[in-house]
Structure 1
């Protein structure tokens, strides 16, 4: 593949607070009919939300607090905010130490609240929810610190959301999860989940979710995971990226991508571009290509951006082709954007 045109830095988006040092701490949702992009960044117990017009002329800000029943102001730390795009609607899911909030995508209305079960007596282990994914066609899955995965059945409109299933295959805290993003209905597995021990589970969704495969970890946390064309792309605390065949668990490739902990991965499904971002201040763009004859995946390194003196904690493509991406960093009160000219 020819080297892509280098990205260049665009005007940053200012946010009200800096980004907390959390994995995958950036949410991006394109609203094509309105020519808007929504961004979310978590800071302590607040989600900072920015709506930006594509022409760069209009910006609006909103802040969402972590909610608790019967409490006026919550100090509960938010663990993640992520957009979930389902065929019938887009929603924003916010997870914290107390529970799971589901909002309309613009953050205007909270449509659902699910409280986490907290132990009667204080324990040494923290309770929280983390790891959020929409799953074809009407489910949103959310991981919790016990290793369980909560499956919510989402109606096409309204707030009649139900907890339809609890999946218990992981024994360690869920770190991240992702749906099959290529849009291919031929892929058997359509959800991958990861935990603190680096263990991966592959699932087929439905009225009852089936676990198709378990890929054991190697005593290194898997902080970010993606699923594309039947290939699992997993980023680890070691700075490595590993590519597995989803259904067999065969290791296709191992890349020593970063010198420090990987905080975020993203895939542009239409182009096969892969974004990796880590504590080492580097954001890297790779290209994934499938070789159908041998059923293997090749990885080519295309581009580097160094965000000097910044511990990067979120990186996401802003479109399905990977023409632009955005980055957040710990203690940084801005979202840095890069575009291809």
Structure 2
């Protein structure tokens, strides 16, 4: 179904972080852009679809105070809004938003960092672009910060703080299809395994809270009203977003799942884990029985690699990319 293509080399390796890969496809220029975090650096790679033309850039975590030490980056992700694309970095010190090429920082939000050595670690993690103008970012305290982003300029404002989670946010995902008003368009997960389903708007509304199973949910997706959650146990669970009904449970991996991704046009689901396997599944929604059918389509073992990031390169799922801990390359597969 897929074959391995030429890997793309990076200037530094990937850190062992959840969802440590973001992909932005720029169709008019025939380029695919990748970001991979290494410590306090972000590897930014732009590659032509055939992989022959590649350009590199490294973005370092910056602080407004020039004397401040750089902080470890927890995640880097492109947020695609109708009017603009922004690159969002989350770190131990705060949240940074850049123009999509990383050239200009347009916004900085500092986190409240306690001074005592025994204080709980503070960081931000989990990024999602919601509706037409919001970027949501999770924090280690469990709160979700909602930023209102204008169509241009740097007048980004913190519009709301969502306080439903009690543990550190691990991941968030958003969906809205075809300009239709979605009932649920944001899902968030935390270290305890709790998953919250939200509807965005002038004020965000909590629609459902799926209780945790004492196992971390490291990655989540939202697809046509179905929440897909990847667990530290290696299981993938599919819930109905509004009711929390469990549609399916798949023992997909032998070890901790690090990344999930959906191809919305084809219903393909990508999962990747510490067990060195990346797998592709197909989701079929069956309205007549209000159920979801999961079919296994493809798997690939990247030998001796702790996979930490996997993303489809397009909305059809015709290609995907994978990163691994301490691996200085992006491994690519295409149909």
Match of 1:236 among 220, 226, 231: 231
Which residue pairs with 2:267 in the alignment? 272
* Higher alpha-carbon deviation: 100-109 or 51-60: 51-60
Q: In 2 relative to 1, CA 26–178 (structure 1 residues): closer, same or farther, beyond 3 Å?
A: same
Which residue pairs with 1:104 in the alignment? 99
Residue 224 (structure 1) aligned with residue 219 (structure 2): yes
Q: Secondary structure at the match of 1:33?
A: helix
Match of 1:148 among 127, 143, 148: 143
Write out aligned runs for 1:255-270 (5 A).
255-270=250-265
Given that residues 8 and 51 in structure 2 are in contact (C-alpha distance below 8 angstroms), is that contact kept between their aligned partners in structure 1?
no
* Higher alpha-carbon deviation: 49-58 or 136-145: 49-58
Match of 2:155 among 155, 160, 170: 160
Number of residue pairs aligned between Structure 1 and Structure 2: 335
1:87-142 per-position Cα deviation (integer Å, ceiling 9, x unaligned): 11111100000000101111111111111111243333100000000000100000
Q: In 2 relative to 1, CA 296–269 (structure 1 residues): closer, same or farther, beyond 3 Å?
A: same
Which residue pairs with 1:63 in the alignment? 58
Match of 1:211 among 206, 214, 221: 206
Shift of 1:72: 5.0
Shift of 1:295: 1.5
Taking structure 2 as the reference length, what is the TM-score of the superposition?
Answer: 0.98
Superposition CA RMSD, Å: 1.1
Match of 2:165 among 170, 177, 187: 170
Ranges in structure 1 where 5+ consecutive residues have no aligned partner:
1-5
Which residue pairs with 2:128 in the alignment? 133
Which residue pairs with 1:3 in the alignment? none
Q: Secondary structure at the match of 2:66?
A: coil
Shift of 1:185: 2.4
Which residue pairs with 1:76 in the alignment? 71
Partners of 2:50 and 2:275 lie apart in 1 by 32
Ranges in structure 2 where 5+ consecutive residues have no aligned partner:
none
Shift of 1:213: 0.5
Give every structure 1 segment of 4 or more consecutive aligned residues whose post-TM-superposition deviation is greater than 3 Å: 72-75, 181-184
Given that residues 268 and 281 in structure 2 are in contact (C-alpha distance below 8 angstroms), is that contact kept between their aligned partners in structure 1?
yes
Given that residues 182 and 270 in structure 1 are in contact (C-alpha distance below 8 angstroms), is that contact kept between their aligned partners in structure 2?
no
Q: Secondary structure at the match of 1:294?
A: coil
Residue 309 (structure 1) aligned with residue 309 (structure 2): no
Partners of 2:68 and 2:24 lie apart in 1 by 28
Which residue pairs with 2:119 in the alignment? 124
Which residue pairs with 1:300 in the alignment? 295
Given that residues 324 and 339 in structure 1 are in contact (C-alpha distance below 8 angstroms), is that contact kept between their aligned partners in structure 2?
yes
Write out aligned runs for 1:238-257 (5 A).
238-257=233-252
Residue 337 (structure 1) aligned with residue 329 (structure 2): no
Which residue pairs with 2:110 in the alignment? 115
Taking structure 1 as the reference length, what is the TM-score of the superposition?
Answer: 0.96
Partners of 1:181 and 1:262 lie apart in 2 by 25
Q: Secondary structure at the match of 1:169?
A: coil
Partners of 1:224 and 1:336 lie apart in 2 by 20
Which residue pairs with 2:46 in the alignment? 51
Match of 1:319 among 311, 314, 321: 314
Shift of 1:184: 6.5
Shift of 1:292: 1.1
* Higher alpha-carbon deviation: 63-72 or 80-89: 63-72
Shift of 1:181: 5.5
Q: In 2 relative to 1, CA 244–184 (structure 1 residues): closer, same or farther, beyond 3 Å?
A: farther
Partners of 1:104 and 1:189 lie apart in 2 by 28
Partners of 2:112 and 2:196 lie apart in 1 by 24
Match of 1:31 among 26, 31, 47: 26
Partners of 1:55 and 1:26 lie apart in 2 by 19
Match of 1:19 among 14, 17, 20: 14
